[in-house]
Structure 1
Amino acid sequence: MSRWRLQPTAALRGALWITLIALIATGLALTVQYVQTARLLDTRVQAAVDDEAAGLIERYRTEGPVAVAQGVARAVDRPRVTDFIYLMTDSEGRPIAGNLARWPGEIDRTGYRSFDTQIATASGTLVERRVAARAILLDDTFRLLVGSLSDDRRLLRDRYVAALVWSLLATGAIGLLAGFWYSRRGLAFLDAASAAGKRFRAGHLGERLPVSGRGDEYDRLAATLNQGFDEIERLVDTLRTATDALAHDLKTPLTRIRARVELAALRGDADDVSTDLGADLDALLRTIDDTLRLAQAEATLATEFSRLDFAAIVRDAGEVFEPVAQARGIGLTIDAAATTIVGARSLLGQLVINLIDNAIKYTPEGGAVVVRLSSGAQGPRLTVTDTGPGIPADQRDRVLARFVRLDRSRSTEGSGLGLSIVAVAARIHGAALSLSDNAPGLIVTVDFAAPVEHPAPAP
């Protein structure tokens, strides 16, 4: 119950953060737009004022102050698209020409200024207007003020404030709703993940997180967690199978040892059973050694990987098994093209040795084993082909599990870990392992990715 009480609080906290970020972004965007627009309006007004003032200054220089006063009077009387403000005064500040009654108190020096002033309308009413003007000192006798009404700046500011207020209110409302929904969605996913994890720990190994199919970050996280669940389930199933198979494989030789020891004690001929006991103990030691090699393979880390000459590893393994193949009357062919790979030397060597050993072991006299390593655009490929009895299609996945041996293989030496080590080595190197029919015999194919630069570490 406490979780459900805290969840709305956490969702509201997340919604507030999302809303705050949205409000800041909205305010900054509107402010930047306002500043840029205001600068554009100021630039245009100042350019118009400077152009008008330049014309009057030029007339003063060429025709004198009387011409300037006449030009100001004509400019005031004629209608214009832009409302200009003119005022020409003498040194005492008395107006000579223009549409301002007096010199503005805000203008105490030459230059460009903005100020508020009272301007008479056509009906004679005084209204306060914003003026941007340039003050010019013609000489020691006359002063000239040329300006333009710039109420657009004030209107822009008022609309900016109104737009900012309404935008922040709308953004706040939408942000709270959307943020609360999104936060609740994230918390719902966390609740689902927590519940699935608890059920998984309780023994429901088939438990998985739902994937909506939208492909968003929640789906990607759910897929990653599901892959972890899959791997844990696989390891648990493997351990269970390995435990059962190991118990079966160890029970048989141990039972034989006990029976032979008891029989020898009854007969008094312990020397006669020493050979049989040695064979049984060798089988036990071989099983233990293979189990240790499998554990070492599972513990291989990415730090142990380096760039290797894979062809040399394959050829060295072929040289080791060539006398064994000749002694059994089996033709062994090694065809290894120059191939470079990133991996663990010991693990790749064990992979190749186990595949060749397995192929020779089940190939009858007069048969053939072919080991071929090629390198193409898709990456290196290792294939080991034999002419033995092969493996039925419905048993090929099963023989890759630990300690699994087909019934007809129980009479041969082995622990049932050979192909398991191969499967682990392939998985650690990011390779795909497949078994297919050679009619007769078996084809084992290991396809490595290209390039194999960053193989995943062992789980």
Structure 2
Amino acid sequence: MNGLLRLRLPSAMGLALRLSVVFALSSVAAGGVAWVVIGDELKARLFRDAELEAKALSAELQTSGEAELKQQIRHAAAFGEDFSNLYYFAPAGGANSTGNMRVFRPASGNVILRIGTDADLVPRSADHQGDLYFGHGIRTPAGWIVVARDQQWIADSQEVMMQSVAWGLAIAFLITVSLAYFSARRNARRVEELNEVLRSVSAGDLSARYKGQEKESDDLSEVADGLNQMLGKLQENVERLTQVSADIAHDLRSPLTRIRLWLEPLALRDDIDPDTREAIGRSLVSVQSMSETFDAILQLAQLETGNLTLETQAADVQQIAANVVEMLSPVAEDAEKSIALNSEGTELLANLNPELVTQALVNLADNALRHSPAGTRITVEVTPLAGGIRLCVSDNGPGIPEPELEKVKRRFYRLDRSRNQPGTGLGLSLVDAIAELHGGTLELSDNKPGLRACLTLRGSRPRTEINR
């Protein structure tokens, strides 16, 4: 499951990361807008502060006189060693200016002063060359009053804001990605559990259901509930259909048996003509064929519904194959065909049901005998696997067209060329069911020429494991 989770997480995480990136870009855009708006607001506040203080100094000039104004400016400038607040008073008579800055071209209203271009500091400072100040100038009869505020406050405020936004964004992004990651892992695990249910159903286990957690109440849990309901209905319908088939087959066995018991004495009577005897014989063959079909339906129903308990034991698979070849050799010889066991002759023990495996191998070999022309060579092989046993029946006959290879395992499905030959059309279905009962598969492939049918019993275990 871990491998599947690693394969699925990128797609789920991709969506989460894309949403996180969109969130981050939106936050950056919002931060940019906030940067501009806050910058404009802080700039307006600096202009307003400079204007209020310039007006206050102008009022001081009118009420207390020029000497008091100069004293107040010198006092304020003395506390502004960092040049964050600048003051300038230039008397109208052309006397020396007072303050910690000198304005080259004073102007009324809000002004932006660049040190070195529009104004200079007193005393002059090379560290502040190029700095911007937001100021306000007032022209009075006594001279110019200019007050300015350093824009560094705006830069510091914006820097603090951006650092706060950056940290907040990083934390939010980390939390979002973490939540998305764990949510993606949880959903990927649940999707894998749903896929496991579907794989089990595809393998024939209609009882498989998604269990999940009781506290789950999202869209995926609703899909899982719908899937469980659908599978429950499907299992119920299949079981009903299987039971109907089994009931019909069971109920018809008795009438067919009675018909055979009625016809067999008639066929042995001496007072019937040859044509009637031949008709009775054909009827007995038909009755026997129907009985075999119903027996196969009943057995297939038992295998597929799990009503047949699989009793396993350690059996020699080589010996099973040898017995089947020995049993069918006279039949093959009468049909001018050959059947042989391709084996090293060594004992190969495995846990399985000998009767069912024998039946499956007989069905495969019988198919090869019945659907091949005279001169066909049939080979039975037994191969040990790491996790089981493989039994293969190969022939060099006409084979089966590739598009039909999977279809022939369906119930009653027969190739066009085989419809006039005796058979129930259930042989391969039974073999497939026996394989699934042993945890294995039935694989049909082109033998070039002919057909190669391999019965793999995955649930079997080699002898070395049995003896532990």
Give the structure with higher Rg (CA): 2
Does the alignment reach a TM-score above 0.5?
Answer: no
**Structure-1-length-normalised TM-score:** 0.42
Answer 1 or 2: higher relative contact order, Cα 8 Å, separation at least 6.
Answer: 1
TM-score (norm 2): 0.41
